[in-house]
Each structure stands twice: as C-alpha cells, then as structure tokens.
Amino acid sequence: MARFMEVEQAEKKIREIEEDLQFCEQLLRKEARMELVKIVLEDLIKEVRGLLESDLPESLKERTSDIEFRIRVLYHRANALLSLQEENKNSF
C-alpha cells in the first residue's frame, strides 16, 4: 500500500511539472519573461532529477526522463533568447 501511495504522489508531481512546463512553453512562444522561465525551468530540473533518483516504476522513469529532456531544451532556448534580448538592448 505504501508503494502505491509513493507512485501516486510521483504521478501527481509529474502532472504538476508538466503543467509548469506548458506554462514555460507558452511564455517561450511569446518570447516573454525569459528570466522567469529560466528560474522555473531550473526549479523543474531539480524536481525531475529528484524523481529520477527515486524508486519509480520503469514507465514513470521513462516519462520523467522525457520531461527532463524537454526542460533542458527549453532551458537552452530561454538562454538563447535572453542573450538575443541583451544584444538588442546593447545595440541601441
């Protein structure tokens, strides 16, 4: 029963992470609030790595690993957009 509760909590946490990730994706599409996106993604990667270190069933580990990859891609994109925004500020 305790194992079921742990898996259930992990699934809930993964859903919350996915919602936050969708929020970041929306902001990235708008190229808005990149500093916030970067901070949220840094927090999400910590949470995902914590989940990956726990004893999850293989299906949840795979899903979490896919989320980690998405976070890393979005993080790099946010950094690139921040750099471009800084360049634009400095060129005027």
Q: Can you give the pLDDT at residue 1?
A: 53
Q: Can you give the pLDDT at residue 85?
A: 86
Q: Can you give the pLDDT at residue 4?
A: 67
Q: Can you give the pLDDT at residue 63?
A: 96
Q: Can you give the pLDDT at residue 87?
A: 86
Domain boundaries, the chain: 18-26+34-91
Q: Can you give the pLDDT at residue 90?
A: 83
Place of tokens 């060129």: 91
Mean pLDDT of successive 10-residue stretches along the chain, which has 92 residues: 76 97 96 94 96 90 96 96 87 70
User: Residue 14: what are its φ and ψ, rounded to 5°?
Assistant: -65, -40
- 24 neighbors 35 (Cβ within 8 angstroms): no
